[in-house]
Amino acid sequence: QSALTQPASVSGSPGQSITLSCTGTSSDIGAHDYVSWFQQYPGKAPRLIIYELSYRASGVSDRFSGSKSGNTASLTISGLQAEDESTFYCSSYTETSTLVVFGGGTKLTVL
């Protein structure tokens, strides 16, 4: 069981905006802004999308944005495109001996 909780799947239509959630605790997401989001296509390495809560990685479209409220971080994808269909993972630094924790991943389907 993953330390951070993500919905297993979400779906949306092209052009729609969609928000993916990632729930942690006061020891990880709630404690600081060291939250990252990754996108992964089958058979490929994860690709960094968002780091330090809300900064877009180099080359990432401004359709992607990150935020948080309390112990829950969110990734919003606006203007959904077919190429966005993939799995998204959240990650957070944590104040435990396991320095970095991940969510179980959310599979995004573009209808």
Partner 1 sequence: EVHLVESGGGLGQPGQSQRLSCTASGFNIGDFAMTWIRQAPGKGLEWVGVIRSRSYGATTDYVASVRGRFTISRDDSKNIVYLTMDSLQADDTAIYFCCRGRTSPSAMPHYWGQGTLVTVSS
For the bound state, the minimum distance from the C-beta of residue 38 to partner 1, rounded and expressed in Å, comes to 8
Q: Does 45 bind partner 1 (CB under 8 A)?
A: yes
DSSP for residue 29: G
SS3 of residue 44 by DSSP: coil
Task: Name residues whose C-beta falls within 8 Å of residue 13's C-beta, 6 or more positions apart in sequence.
Answer: 80, 110, 111
Q: How many C-beta atoms surround the C-beta of residue 69 within 10 A?
A: 10
Q: How many helices (H) and strands (E) does the chain have?
A: 0, 10
How big is the CA angle at 75 (ends 72 and 76), to the nearest 5 degrees? 125
For the bound state, the minimum distance from the C-beta of residue 15 to partner 1, rounded and expressed in Å, comes to 29
Binding segment for partner 1 (CB under 8 A), chosen from 14-22, 23-31, 69-77, 94-102, is 94-102
Q: Does 88 bind partner 1 (CB under 8 A)?
A: no
Nearer to partner 1, 18 or 34 (CB): 34
Q: Does 2 bind partner 1 (CB under 8 A)?
A: yes
Binding segment for partner 1 (CB under 8 A), chosen from 11-19, 23-31, 50-58, 68-76, is 50-58
Q: Does 37 bind partner 1 (CB under 8 A)?
A: no
